[in-house]
Amino acid sequence: MYNETSWDEAELILANARQAFRELKKYSIRQRASFMRTIAVEIEALGDELIKTAMAETNLTEPRLIGERARTILQWNSYANYAELGNWMDVRIDTASRTLSKTDIRKTAVALGPVAVFGAGNFPFAFSTAGGDTASAIAAGCPVVVKAHPGHPKTCVLMAQAIEKARVKCRMPEGVFAQVYSTGIEIGQLLVKHEVIKAVAFTGSFKGGKAIADLAAQRHEPIPVFAEMGSINPVFLLPEKLRMEAAQVADQFIASVTLGVGQFCTNPGLMVGIAGDDLNTFTAALKNAAVNAAPATMLHPGIAQNFEHTRSNALQQSEVTVLAQSGIAKAENQGDATIASVSAATFIANPALHQEVFGPYSLLVVCQNADEMLAVAEAIEGQLTATFIATSNDLAENQTLTQIVQERCGRIIVNQFPTGVEVCLAMHHGGPYPATTNSAHTSVGADGIKRFTRPLSFQNWPNEHLPEELQNANPLEVWRTINNELTLEPIGQPVAGY
């Protein structure tokens, strides 16, 4: 069904991507959007074969994969809609007719060039071959070369076939999308280092993302790497809320920790609370919920082995206590819910406890007072998310804490849990390093299109030779800031001098 990609084959794929980038400039935003919607149709047309193939390769359940397929289709359609809307181009026009100026300057966003995408193992549809990174890059006008994930190669093949069918139907240039296959790292390194590639998107481990970012930075022409590298997603348990709903919060917490066998980058791997009767009540309920949580099969044996190894390493750290573990016998390659505990002072002093354990695991950090909770927040590195379980009074009384935590995350949540990342324009799925390599951008939501663009100003250009979004008549009907006013209106007069 697929073969390992040779070095020569990869070189040809990259040459085609270079040519496709030049050809794509002749295609309008509306043509790209139509292509994207056709990809969504072709993904849906894969039907049961796609679901069953992914089930066999990943051990994910049928309902979960059906939901993820719907999310993937939503991404292609919603990003297509946003591409046509044009806001992501941030069009600015300052005409020669404005006060004290005789120069016409117009700015838009243009595509960077071919993009290399490294997909995630835990989302074989939404963050892999036909995932949000690929959709965002194509929306921006960039060809894509995907490194197929070795954990679900057959699923990757099916998705690539769907994209190719859409390409042929829409008469898009050959080379606008391609996929390479390799179980080693050499082909992936070639993509990152090759002069044709102008940006990289990655979802996975810190080790993998950091290696790619370092490699890209060492190029003669360094390129941006948008790597999402995981997170421990701290949850701060504030006193009044815990006093009111300790048992309910514990049940919700275990449900979040065990969702998808904990195989989410937004899994809440850290809890921070203040010692006392309310935290004791919470802990008792947490133990009961964890003991009764059923183990489940992880993505593949390598993930299960990594979970066992990293969990064991965390539990072997000095002064770490196991609070609870699933009491239900587990089978091979299954992950079982595990909750551990440690003092705030020990957590702060031991960086090993700050590392992600990818699976159904969480660590409770017990603080002696509010000042220690502040110190824990100060010690935590960049995160994708942070959560407050809190009443309005709790938030009012802990404003310094909430400000510190805002400095360390890309999404801050109150009285909900971070698992689940909604596809919408207001979503920011990113965060300060080491959660990502670029905290200014998101990998979920149509704002992710902006990752693969750069600004370009046109000065004193003839109207008929400008990109459509900059032309006087505004043929794309996009919002534009003209002489400091946001408007849909066309410009009445031609550029001075033409």
Nearest residue to 222 (alpha-carbon basis) of 202, 185, 201, 193: 193
User: Alpha-carbon distance 299 to 122, whole Å?
Assistant: 7
Nearest residue to 4 (alpha-carbon basis) of 188, 189, 181, 191: 181
| Dihedral sign computed on CA atoms, order 292, 297, 298, 304 | positive
Q: 418 near 256, Cβ under 8 Å? A: yes
Give the pairing of strands 334-335 and 296-297: antiparallel
Beta-sheet strand order (sheet of 105-111)? 453-459, 105-111, 92-94, 480-482, 485-487
Residue 41 token pair: 């149709």
CA 51 to chain centre: 22
User: Alpha-carbon distance 215 to 197, whole Å?
Assistant: 13
Q: DSSP string of 344-404?
A: HHHHHH-GGGGS---SSEEEEEEESSHHHHHHHHHH---EEEEEEE--HHHHHHTHHHHHH
Q: Just list the catalytic residues.
A: 228, 265
Nearest residue to 376 (alpha-carbon basis) of 408, 410, 344: 344
First to last CA, the chain: 58
Backbone angles phi and psi of 229, in degrees to 5: -120, 20
Rounded to the nearest 10°, the torsion over CA 65, 70, 71, 73 is 120
